[in-house]
Amino acid sequence: MFGSLLDYYYYTGDDQYNDLVTQGLLFQVGPDSDYMTPNQTKTTGNDDQGFWGLSAMSAAEQKFPDPPADEPQWLALAQAVFNTQALRWDTQFCGGGLRWQVFSFNTGYDYKNTISNGVFFNLAARLAMYTGNQTYADWAEKVWNWTSAVSMMSADYHFYDGAHTGENCTDINRQQWTYQPGVYLLGAANMYNFTNGSDVWKDHVNNILNTTDTFFYSPTVKDVMVEVACEPFDTCDTDNYSFKAYLSRWMAATTKMAPWTYDIVMPKIRASAAAAALQCSGGSSGTLCGMKWTDGAKWDGSSGVGQQMSALEVMQSLLISRVAPPVTNSTGGTSKGDPAAGSAGTFNPDLPQGVIQKRDRVGAGFLTTLIIISGIGSAWWMIA
């Protein structure tokens, strides 16, 4: 959600929502400024925390206005998320990897999933690129190698959902979602850049990009994105509706880190954006966006934040050639870091946590939802 709004400012320069975005990114940082908040304990997954970290990383890379000096800074927040997750790397089962859930009392704690580990890989690679610190790159290599060794990434670069610790990760769930190759694609592109054009990482980028064809397979509409695991069967849930936004975002961002990919990526982005714009024809206003972009102007009857966010992200990705590449701390980045942030680890949810720092949380999520919904209107001109 906040990643899409950050991208909106990055692509358009329209700053009218920046104060709300800053508020949203800061209100959930938690007492230790690591996006681990007591009020979300029952639902916190490593992927959830990781996505907050990726948004903070994007804010640093895109030179989104820095928070006030007495607030946590974007780079330090991304580093805090990385450090808390590095401490959770679990070698007791499956030879490594992050579990899906952070806490043992949450359903899914016995599952190691590709997206949690992919977000960690992506964040490590981008921190390496931004800071020049080899330690982050070493972690990125470690996560990549583990994902391959445990067969959550196949020999031909298909990414599968995950596996259970009780089976030592031998029971691979072979569901494929759009955001799985996307998160590894951008991480690999950053590693290509960090290694000064390593042929190994270039091959990884090319091979992942090839497998994204799985999600652009429609026999009737060329190059239009499909969520193959649920969309054809009308089984997509609230989370699934947003996944296309992430693949669109990361494919577009990859063209900045691996420029040769532009001519491969953009035909898919253009076709998908045009199809998404047609699908945004629902409701009494005629502007609600559905999930099935391959249906053209025939609205599929679904609507929600995920559908709006996916449409917005693929449309604004059309502007990728007009914006500067992500900055680093040596190319104009201004966000202040803290390499030790988050090193104390995750708080113990069984201990009293006290009162959460006072912030104006009222309506933040609601306002953000409204922004995304209204933001589609601002994106129409990109298709023209």
Beta-bridge mates of residue 153:
159
- Yes or no: say if 58 and 6 are a contact pair by the CB < 8 Å rule: yes
Distance of CA 359 to the CA centre of its chain: 25
Q: What is the pLDDT of residue 344?
A: 75
**Dist. CA 90–CA 97, nearest whole Å:** 6
Q: What is the pLDDT of residue 39?
A: 75
Q: What is the pLDDT of residue 345?
A: 62
Place of tokens 């199809």: 275
Three-class DSSP category at 286: coil
Enter the tokens of residue 202. 């270039």
Q: What is the pLDDT of residue 356?
A: 27
pTM given for the model: 0.91
- Yes or no: say if 227 and 177 are a contact pair by the CB < 8 Å rule: yes
Enter the tokens of residue 221. 């509409």
pLDDT in tens, 207-262: 999 999 999 988 889 999 999 999 999 999 999 999 999 999 999 999 999 999 99
Q: What is the pLDDT of residue 368?
A: 42
**Dist. CA 348–CA 131, nearest whole Å:** 30
* Alpha-carbon distances of 81 from 67, 74, 100, 119, 277, rounded to whole Å: 17, 11, 15, 11, 35
Burial of 340 (0-12, 13-18, 19+ CB in 10 A): exposed
Taking 70 as the pLDDT cut, the residues of the chain under it are 41, 345-384
Determine the residue type at 137. A
- Yes or no: say if 143 and 121 are a contact pair by the CB < 8 Å rule: yes
Determine the residue type at 27. F
Beta-bridge mates of residue 49:
none
Give the residue among 219, 4, 275, 5 at the shortest CA–CA distance from 289: 275
- Yes or no: say if 223 and 272 are a contact pair by the CB < 8 Å rule: yes
**Dist. CA 299–CA 289, nearest whole Å:** 7
Q: What is the pLDDT of residue 141?
A: 98
**Dist. CA 161–CA 266, nearest whole Å:** 26
- Yes or no: say if 52 and 80 are a contact pair by the CB < 8 Å rule: no
Name residues whose C-beta falls within 8 Å of residue 182's C-beta, 6 or more positions apart in sequence: 212, 246, 247, 249, 250, 251
Percent helix, percent strand, percent coil in the chain, to nearest 5: 55, 5, 40
**Dist. CA 338–CA 356, nearest whole Å:** 22
Give the residue among 139, 8, 2, 123 at the shortest CA–CA distance from 57: 123
pLDDT in tens, 73-127: 999 999 999 999 999 999 999 999 999 999 999 999 999 999 999 999 999 999 9
